[in-house]
Amino acid sequence: MSVKLRMVALIYLSTLPFSVLSHPDLLLQIEALDVQIEAQPGDTELLIKRGDLYRRHENYPAAAQDFATARKTSPDYELLDFYEGHLSFDIGDSAAAENHLKKYLKNHPDQSKAWALRGKANVRLYQAESAAGYFAQAIQNTQTPSPTLYRSQILSLASSGDSKWDEARMVVDQGLQYFGLEVSLLGLGIDISLAGNQPAMAKQYLDSLPEALRDLPQWGTRIETTNCVASTKPEISTPCQQQARDHLNNEAKTFMAQ
């Protein structure tokens, strides 16, 4: 972009409302691509780049228009399904996102970001077990998984019913092995153990909790529930054990409703 064009863009930006100015860098990139696309109107890559910038800027109609033009120009362009899937997810059409991402991942099964996005789409579709599998693929296909990915897989499994709780706890252990002390995963390990009436397992997780955290309300409640569940016979259902089940189910329900 020339100095003159950049100055014009900056003057234009200064007249826009604050909500638009939250992404001034995106607007400058879009304007630079406007110039390139005007010179090369049939360039699919440029259209997709601008469409994705529009998506990130939350100008969804403009993004859809660029992707539609790219689709018409290059109907078999492999990356387009990923970008259209991302746009569909952002505008709340999770079924369309699932369809696009399914096509994309058929030819690109090693793309962690696409697996994670497909997992999120299936959470919105209330397909918890499928979502868990997609989050697992996202973890498997990246060298730098995040605690959020593990947490998403764990809560998807927890949402699939109590028959999946042991599997969910195994994912907790995998995450803790990878990250060391990660309190968001540690808390889930305790909650799943208590919901499954395994207070000894919950105590093992609690033993790794730093002393400084034990006085915080969320951990104090877990300690009290662990002691309560441990004080009764395993075959007896107690209010505190039911409370543990309700707590985990509420966590899972909140996750699926996001």
**Tens digits of residue pLDDT in 121-174:** 999 999 999 999 999 999 999 999 999 999 999 999 999 999 999 999 999 999
Q: Is residue 237 part of a domain?
A: yes
CA distance 4 to 6: 5
Query: Which structural domain range is residue 244 located in?
Result: 146-258
Under the banding of pLDDT at 50, 70 and 90, the label for residue 249 is very high
Contacts of 208 (CB under 8 A, 6+ apart): 181, 186
Q: Is residue 182 part of a domain?
A: yes
Under the banding of pLDDT at 50, 70 and 90, the label for residue 15 is very low
Nearest residue to 194 via CA among 159, 137, 146, 238? 238
Check pLDDT > 90 for residue 194.
yes
**pLDDT at res. 258:** 80
Q: Is residue 152 part of a domain?
A: yes
Q: What is the pTM of this model?
A: 0.86
Nearest residue to 59 via CA among 27, 81, 85, 32? 27
Q: Is residue 204 part of a domain?
A: yes
Does residue 226 contact residue 195 with C-beta atoms inside 8 Å?
no
Q: Is residue 96 part of a domain?
A: no
State the total domains in the chain.
1
Give the whole-number percent of the chain exceeding pLDDT 90.
76
Nearest residue to 247 via CA among 204, 191, 197, 200? 191
**pLDDT at res. 236:** 57
**pLDDT at res. 12:** 42
Q: Is residue 33 part of a domain?
A: no
Q: Is residue 158 part of a domain?
A: yes
Check pLDDT > 90 for residue 45.
yes
Contacts of 85 (CB under 8 A, 6+ apart): 96, 97, 98, 99, 100, 101, 104, 114, 117, 118, 121
Q: Is residue 228 part of a domain?
A: yes
